[in-house]
Structure 1
Amino acid sequence: MKVLGKWFIVALMLVTGPAKAALDIVITEGVDAARPIAVVPFVWQGTGPVPSQISDVVMSDLTRSGTFKPVDELGLPQRNISTVDQFKVSQWGSVAAEAVVMGSVKPYGPDQYLVNFDLVDLVKAQMQSGSGPTNASEYLIDSRETVITSAQFRQYGHRISDIVYEKLTGIRGAFLTRIAYVVVNHGDKSPYKLMIADYDGYNEQMLLRSPEPLMSPAWSPDGRKLAYVSFENKKAEIFVQDIYTQARSKITSFSGINGAPTFSPDGKKLAVTLSKDGQPEVYVVDINTKALKRVTNHYAIDTEASWAPDGKSLIFTSERGGRPQIYQVALDSGRISRLTFEGEWNLGGSIAPDGRSMVFVNRTNGKFNIARMDLETRFMQVLTSTRLDESPSIAPNGTMVIYGTTYNGKQVLAAVSMDGRFKARLPVGQGEIKSPAWSPFL
């Protein structure tokens, strides 16, 4: 119990990182194994400077996905093309890439721009280049045309990235998503801020500021609300807040621990950790009625519950086996089974959106790393190799995990692909960022 008490405090500390307008990602591993793709700078068909270069957003997104590696722009044989009709296969024979993204932007009206893009199958084009004349449209994978405003340039860049990613991988892109986190600036009068931003750190907005700690933000399934823990009233309380209207409601305010909220898949309930009856236990609370259902009842600490995608069970961390391990409880029968056995500790688990694997923090030989376990075979793979990794949050398409780690003596945010191949780090800025949470699809 004393050991888990220390672990519980460590878990609440969570992750820190930079408080910048854009959380620029530094890729540290996995680029060489990424799939090459060519992104041609979109052609500006207006006068004066281009309002924003959408292709820069696309290149950054595809790079950050860990799946693709854009070809150096200087190595592109054609750099002033916008449609597949202008694409000359003969000039692309030596380019090692599987696809080409090209497009254009032109004025369409007051603060309106017409954006088009084509996605070309370069491998198919190269294979057919020696078979005689062909229709250029045979190489076309996708083509779109949309009118946007100047404020929508980044958003539409993410939309293009989503389309490209899905067309080439068969997996839905997650570039039009957001992250939530807590920024801490210890020198400020109200040092704690609950923030949301685009997944890449742009369009950062403050949802709440407090002189007391804020922690554990969790997204609702529709991406409209956040649940979080606040100490603003000198005690731990759980709130749910609408990120658009700012309206919020207090969900629990019992004596002792009110922590680790996570939304049910239907958005109607929260799984929470409460110690109102003694030891910390897992409860489910109805958000509208505030009705409570106690899920666990054990002398050991039970905490950090998260939902299975079907909403029929919870996984949670417990010391009931002697050390922190991850268990699963069926909500209809109350039957509990142990999921993890390898390593010294396993904690803070969440199940991937497809329900096939689980991501969690594993401690082996005193090192805390992010790990993934196949729920059918129970094969566990440690994804990271740094020393103190915490608070993993899975992207809604199940391809990436954002988490916290320590770099050069500072706590930072980092990301790793679900296969452990691709790794990236967010550089340290002023302040700290804690408790990263990846939104659902928006």
Structure 2
Amino acid sequence: MATWILKFSSKQVTIMAAAVLLFFNFQLNAATNEIIITGGIESARPIGVVPFKYLGNTSLPENLSEVVASDLQRSGKFSPLKLSLMPQFPTTDTEINYAAWAQKGIDMVLVGSVESTGLNQYLVTFELVDVLRAQATGGQAKTLENGKLVMTRDHVIEKRTKTINGGDFRQYAHIISDIVYEKLTGQRGAFLTRIAYIKVLDRDTNPKPYRLVIADYDNVNPTTLLSSPEPLMSPTWSPDGNTLAYVSFENKRSQIYLQDIYTTSRTRLTDFPGINGAPNFSPDGKKLAMVLSKDGNPEIYIMDLQTRNLTRITRNRAIDTEPSWTPDGKSLIFTSERGGKPQIYQVNLATNRKSRLTFEGEMNLGGAITPDNSQLVIVNRTRGDYHIAKQDLKNGDMLVLTNTYLDESPSISPNGSMIIYSVLEYGKPALAWVSLDGRFSFKEPVADGEVKSPSWSPFLL
């Protein structure tokens, strides 16, 4: 949405500098950044994430179970039981008192251990246990194999053992979270992912206040890829998660760059007169949709990344911007004021046929479609306020997901369960997350500067 506001600055209503935020203050202190849960705890499924027992003499690089508990909490699907309420601290399934956990309303328990096996080497074992099934069978069930009754432990939903090094603790914790999430929801987890965003520091004290930053999905381990004295905008991930496309004003005009996140090498992709903005990779990573005004009016173009050939998609006197791809790569979603005020349109790339998708509210911006092709996520303006909303692509029903004053730049997690966006907090943009059903949300307090234009990476493994 930041790109749209820049282009329409002469037409936008002046935004007030502060917003009144009423939050349900529930704070989660874990191995990750402090977050403030803003709604939806009561609908989450209780789960026991027991601290993993450590067998070793040196200090651990990371607390695995704390990271897992934080991940599951942030998903909005689970509510990890507080340590003070746990009836016991078992390490393996055989140590679990099933009745004690069932009395706490816990039907799933994650237990595990970490053993030091050598220099910077650790053996991690974990088990995900169905407490109710175990209680019903007494921890042992019988099944028929080759005509004989044998004992099984099918209440152990998952059990794994892996040796990792000290630098892989957080990554492996996210893997454990992904496994637990998928086993219990049937949907792939998105904890082993990253986000990119633009951070803006104080312009009076920093010669290069604009930063292109990547971090783990929970904004831990932030890494600055680029510092610039001029604005940076609109970062977006390639489908393989190796490259970012973004807009830079380093040369006093907008240009689109590609940057490898591992080597940090970068390539200037466009330098046309006028606007070069809003890049967005195709699902196969071979093309890049963008907004160019080189022919006089801001229009949607597609560039073949191998040949650098351009194809013009829209031709209209109105401003067209913010292109994004449908999951099948056959259409583009974009924002256009061709109907009077900005709304979301779709263009079929084979037929060039265009159709309007949104009608509710004063305007709708920044559209993107969920990976399952069922929902359109947008910024909806109603009565002067900008909120994140979703619209069902089959029946057209719209549901507003957020209720703060100025919400913008939504980006969908690769499993389609969460949306990260920018929210105005005390006059400064900060990061916030909301579940796709709108039931769970949380935000991250601003430590310094402003954070805007978040973009969620694809799956990394």
TM-based fold match above 0.5: yes
| SS of corresponding position for 2:409 | strand
Query: What is the aligned partner in structure 2 of residue 5 from structure 1?
Result: 8
Instruction: Say if 1:58 and 1:205 are closer, same or farther in 2 by CA, change over 3 A.
Output: same
In the alignment, structure 2 segments of 5+ residues that lack a partner are: 15-30, 143-149
- In 1, Cα distance between the equivalents of 2:216 and 2:377? 23
- The count of aligned residue pairs is 432
The counterpart of 1:86, out of the listed 95, 99, 109, is 95
Whether 1:55 and 2:58 are equivalent positions in the alignment is no
Query: What is the aligned partner in structure 2 of residue 36 from structure 1?
Result: 46
Query: What is the aligned partner in structure 2 of residue 110 from structure 1?
Result: 119
The counterpart of 2:375, out of the listed 348, 352, 357, is 357
Which stretch of structure 1 is more off in the superposition, 240-249 or 120-129?
120-129
Letter in 2 for 1:142: E
- In 2, Cα distance between the equivalents of 1:33 and 1:122? 20
Letter in 1 for 2:78: F
Check the 8 A contact 1:301/1:320 in 2, yes or no: yes
Instruction: Say if 1:406 and 1:59 are closer, same or farther in 2 by CA, change over 3 A.
Output: same
Query: What is the aligned partner in structure 2 of residue 18 from structure 1?
Result: none
Letter in 1 for 2:315: N
Letter in 2 for 1:409: G
Instruction: Say if 1:250 and 1:61 are closer, same or farther in 2 by CA, change over 3 A.
Output: same
Which stretch of structure 1 is more off in the superposition, 69-78 or 299-308?
69-78
Query: What is the aligned partner in structure 2 of residue 299 from structure 1?
Result: 317
Check the 8 A contact 2:275/2:292 in 1, yes or no: yes
Instruction: Say if 1:83 and 1:354 are closer, same or farther in 2 by CA, change over 3 A.
Output: same
Q: Offset of 1:135 from its aligned partner?
A: 5.9
Query: What is the aligned partner in structure 2 of residue 440 from structure 1?
Result: 458
Check the 8 A contact 1:23/1:427 in 2, yes or no: no
Check the 8 A contact 1:85/1:137 in 2, yes or no: no
- In 2, Cα distance between the equivalents of 1:243 and 1:423? 29
Instruction: Say if 1:7 and 1:372 are closer, same or farther in 2 by CA, change over 3 A.
Output: farther
Give 1:342-381 correspondences, 5 Å limit: 342-381=360-399
Which stretch of structure 1 is more off in the superposition, 289-298 or 241-250?
241-250
Q: Which string of whole-angstrom CA distances, capped at 9 and with x for unpartnered residues, describes residues 142-164 of structure 1?
A: 00100001111111111000000
Give 1:42-441 correspondences, 5 Å limit: 42-79=52-89, 81-129=90-138, 137-185=153-201, 186=203, 187-441=205-459
- In 2, Cα distance between the equivalents of 1:116 and 1:297? 59
- In 2, Cα distance between the equivalents of 1:161 and 1:309? 26
Check the 8 A contact 2:241/2:457 in 1, yes or no: yes
- For normalisation by structure 2, the TM-score amounts to 0.90
Check the 8 A contact 2:98/2:132 in 1, yes or no: no
- In 2, Cα distance between the equivalents of 1:86 and 1:220? 46
Check the 8 A contact 1:180/1:194 in 2, yes or no: yes
Q: Higher RCO, 1 or 2 (CA under 8 Å, sep at least 6)?
A: 1
Check the 8 A contact 1:226/1:240 in 2, yes or no: yes
Letter in 1 for 2:438: G
RMSD: 2.2
| SS of corresponding position for 2:43 | coil
- In 2, Cα distance between the equivalents of 1:260 and 1:222? 19
Q: Offset of 1:137 from its aligned partner?
A: 2.0
- In 2, Cα distance between the equivalents of 1:356 and 1:84? 40
Q: Offset of 1:46 from its aligned partner?
A: 1.3
Q: Offset of 1:85 from its aligned partner?
A: 2.0
Q: Which string of whole-angstrom CA distances, capped at 9 and with x for unpartnered residues, describes residues 267-321 of structure 1?
A: 0110000011111000001112210000000000000000001000000000111
- For normalisation by structure 1, the TM-score amounts to 0.93
Q: Offset of 1:52 from its aligned partner?
A: 2.3
Q: Which string of whole-angstrom CA distances, capped at 9 and with x for unpartnered residues, describes residues 170-204 of structure 1?
A: 01000000000111112300111111010111221
Q: Offset of 1:5 from its aligned partner?
A: 2.3
In the alignment, structure 1 segments of 5+ residues that lack a partner are: 12-20
- In 1, Cα distance between the equivalents of 2:427 and 2:436? 26
- In 2, Cα distance between the equivalents of 1:114 and 1:264? 40
Letter in 2 for 1:292: L
Q: Offset of 1:93 from its aligned partner?
A: 3.4
Q: Which string of whole-angstrom CA distances, capped at 9 and with x for unpartnered residues, describes residues 312-370 of structure 1?
A: 00000001111100000000110000000011100100011111111010001111000
Q: Which string of whole-angstrom CA distances, capped at 9 and with x for unpartnered residues, describes residues 370-406 of structure 1?
A: 0001111111100001111100000000000001112
| SS of corresponding position for 1:32 | helix
Letter in 2 for 1:351: I
Matched-pair identity in %: 56
- In 2, Cα distance between the equivalents of 1:199 and 1:387? 24
